[in-house]
């Protein structure tokens, strides 16, 4: 079959390499990777993986920190029709072992820092094919170099056999799985989200009427869905993606200046760090698109972004690994519609089901959860993805996300959305951060509990918070309990509050 008629992820880089091989495709810490280099390395890797026995449909699980050595592997597996499945690099051996076992990989690939632990994981789950990427061999105790592990295949460009012939998999179709991303597990055991070549291609296609190629800086680690989505979105335009080792304001802004980036997507917490950096320290005049999302975006943050980057377009996105970009709040509406996440993205249908649950239908949806038919059936109903988020639509069809179905607090027969209460409490000057959860109560079933990280030198009381809610929230929505904490537990990649963990911490006191 003619692959030019299929939406295949591996072909995106190949086509740009054929047209302009010297053009930059990726950058990190001063190292640049051109389209020609990325294409050639991916081709060598694909041949090496095929020689080792990796076939169409096999899963290749990676456990590695952010590195450009991961990008050729991502493309190589796509060309073979193998499924790329990255593990969270911040987890330990005991945490990743059950996730890796669930994926049933044909191969486990690690960077030097994870090699010793990865061999341990491979032995525990019975995986025979183990490989490493990157120049190092391994890291021993105290950070020193370790000996090579017997039987570990080295997927290093210089050590692979040169192959000019392009590799093709005859059985590959755009509807085949291309990646499996594991959910963060903030409310339960992680699930493997399956995305096809077609879904990933459509999620990242930006049309043909762009003014310039996209030069984007990625704050997300290269095991997170957003990192690969941003990469593919840039590559679709013939642009480049720049990575950072950590999502600090200094590293992100250094990359923006070094690459004259025109797009920067950050979660609100990272934007707040960036806004604290004096404007004169870095040249950010190249930025044209300022994007945010993942969690509720305060109007104060949007106003600050408009002031700091007056020449840029500011946008807010709402979506998930399962659905991609579901809605977008465009620049002309970000100040007019505070608290909203906008209207449905192109090709996305949106409806509010019973209880206000946001449900979505589009060609961008996941295929399901790997080896989990029960969870897939619960999430995908008659072609609609049930987000578990509670939403509200205004009279112009703009969506606001007000909470989670599973997070709803049931108190005295009433339902309370934590996000609604948090939005009010966050305005109190003594509150630095706040999360609202339900704690068990013999009389009310649950009571509304405000978990507060106090502002500097402040000591907020329950009476203070209740007074803040007067005239703004119904009586049953006011907090009946307050817990003062030093910090809120959050997921590593996206900074979402781990409410289940927070409730456990409160209960253990």
For strand 445-454 and strand 431-441, is the pairing parallel, antiparallel, or unpaired?
Answer: antiparallel
pLDDT in tens, 85-122: 999 898 889 889 999 999 999 999 999 999 999 999 99
CA-to-CA distance for 183 and 193, rounded, in angstroms?
7
In a domain, 290, yes or no: no
Q: Which of 143, 165, 195 is where one domain is finished?
A: 195
pLDDT value at 21 more than 80: yes
CA terminus-to-terminus distance, the chain: 63
193 phi-psi bin (left φ>0, alpha ψ -120 to 50, beta other): beta
pLDDT of residue 295: 56
For strand 349-352 and strand 357-361, is the pairing parallel, antiparallel, or unpaired?
Answer: antiparallel
Q: If pLDDT is split at 50, 70 and 90, which confidence band does 492 have?
A: low
Q: CB-based burial of residue 250 (10 Å sphere; 0-12 exposed, 13-18 middle, 19+ buried)?
A: middle
Domain CATH number, residue 451: 3.30.300.30
pLDDT in tens, 151-209: 899 998 888 888 889 999 999 999 999 999 998 644 457 899 999 999 999 999 976 55
Q: Which of 161, 195, 229 is where one domain is finished?
A: 195
Q: Which of 165, 195, 225 is where one domain is finished?
A: 195
Domain count, the chain: 2
pLDDT in tens, 227-274: 999 999 999 999 999 999 999 999 999 999 999 999 999 988 899 999
CA-to-CA distance for 61 and 443, rounded, in angstroms?
49
Domain CATH number, residue 140: 3.40.50.12780
In a domain, 306, yes or no: no
pLDDT of residue 474: 83
In a domain, 225, yes or no: no
For strand 83-87 and strand 107-110, is the pairing parallel, antiparallel, or unpaired?
Answer: unpaired
454 with 460: CB under 8 angstroms? yes
466 with 417: CB under 8 angstroms? no
46 with 91: CB under 8 angstroms? no
In a domain, 386, yes or no: no
pLDDT of residue 2: 59
pLDDT of residue 188: 55
Buried b (16+ CB within 10 A) or exposed e, 2-25: ebeebbbbbbbbbebbeeeeeebb
Range of the domain at 466: 409-507
Nearest alpha carbon to residue 362 among 415, 322, 310, 312: 322
In a domain, 136, yes or no: yes
- What are the CB-based long-range contacts (under 8 Å, 24+) for 371-378? 371/102, 371/104, 371/192, 372/191, 372/192, 375/191
Residue linked to tokens 């309990």: 481
pLDDT of residue 144: 41
Which residues, 6 or more positions from 286, have their beta carbon under 8 angstroms from its beta carbon?
215, 256, 260, 261, 262
pLDDT value at 137 more than 80: no
In a domain, 334, yes or no: no
In a domain, 83, yes or no: yes
How big is the chain by its Cα radius of gyration, in Å?
Answer: 24
DSSP string, 160-214: SPP--SPP--TT--TTSEEEEEE---TTSS--EEEEEHHHHHHHH---S--SS--
When pLDDT is averaged across residues 287-315 and rounded to a whole number, the result is 91
When pLDDT is averaged across residues 307-335 and rounded to a whole number, the result is 95
222 with 387: CB under 8 angstroms? no
In a domain, 416, yes or no: yes
Q: If pLDDT is split at 50, 70 and 90, which confidence band does 494 have?
A: low
Nearest alpha carbon to residue 298 among 325, 334, 328: 334
């Amino acid at each position: 079959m003619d692959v030019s008629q299929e939406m295949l992820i591996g072909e995106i880089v190949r086509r740009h390499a054929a047209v302009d091989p010297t053009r930059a495709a990726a950058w990190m810490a001063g190292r640049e990777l051109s389209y020609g280099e990325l294409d050639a390395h991916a081709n060598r890797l694909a041949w090496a993986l095929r020689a080792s026995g990796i076939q169409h449909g096999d899963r290749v699980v990676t456990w590695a920190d952010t590195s450009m050595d991961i990008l050729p592997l991502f493309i190589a597996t796509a060309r073979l029709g193998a499924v790329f499945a990255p593990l969270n690099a911040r987890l330990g051996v005991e945490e990743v072992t059950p996730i890796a076992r669930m994926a049933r990989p044909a191969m486990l690939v690690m960077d030097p820092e994870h090699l010793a632990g990865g061999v341990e994981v491979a032995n525990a789950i019975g995986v025979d094919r183990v490989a490493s990427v990157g120049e190092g061999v391994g890291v021993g105790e105290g950070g020193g170099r370790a000996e090579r592990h017997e039987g570990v295949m080295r997927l290093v460009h210089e050590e692979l056999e040169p192959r000019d012939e392009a590799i093709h998999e005859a059985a590959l179709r755009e509807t085949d799985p291309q990646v499996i991303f594991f959910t963060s597990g903030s409310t339960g055991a992680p699930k493997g989200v399956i995305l096809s070549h077609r879904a990933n291609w459509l999620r990242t296609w930006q049309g043909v009427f762009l003014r310039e190629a996209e030069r984007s800086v990625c704050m997300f680690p290269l095991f997170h869905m957003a990192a690969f989505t941003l990469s593919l979105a840039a590559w679709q335009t013939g642009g480049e993606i720049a990575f950072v080792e950590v999502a600090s304001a200094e590293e992100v802004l250094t990359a923006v200046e070094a690459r004259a980036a025109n797009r920067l997507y950050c979660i609100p917490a990272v934007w707040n760090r960036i806004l604290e950096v004096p404007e004169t320290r870095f040249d950010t005049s190249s930025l044209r698109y300022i994007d945010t999302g993942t969690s509720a975006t305060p109007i104060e943050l949007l106003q600050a972004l408009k002031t700091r980057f007056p020449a840029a377009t500011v946008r807010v996105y709402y979506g998930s690994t399962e659905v991609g970009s579901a809605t977008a709040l465009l620049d002309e509406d970000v100040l007019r519609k505070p608290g909203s996440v906008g209207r449905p993205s192109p090709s996305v249908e949106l409806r509010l089901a019973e209880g206000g649950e946001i449900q979505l239908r589009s060609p961008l949806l996941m295929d399901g959860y790997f080896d989990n038919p029960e969870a897939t059936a619960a999430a995908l109903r008659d072609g609609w993805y049930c987000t578990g988020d509670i939403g509200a639509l205004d009279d112009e069809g703009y969506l606001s996300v007000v909470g989670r179905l599973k997070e709803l607090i049931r108190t005295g027969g009433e339902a309370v959305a934590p996000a609604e209460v948090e939005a009010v409490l966050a305005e109190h000057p003594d509150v630095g951060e706040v999360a609202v959860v339900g704690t068990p109560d013999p009389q009310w079933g649950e009571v509304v509990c405000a978990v507060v990280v106090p502002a500097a030198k402040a000591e907020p009381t329950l009476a203070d918070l209740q007074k803040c809610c007067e005239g703004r929230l119904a009586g049953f929505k006011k907090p009946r309990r307050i817990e003062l904490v030093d910090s809120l537990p959050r997921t590593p990649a996206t900074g979402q509050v781990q409410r289940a963990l927070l409730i456990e911490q409160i209960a253990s006191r």
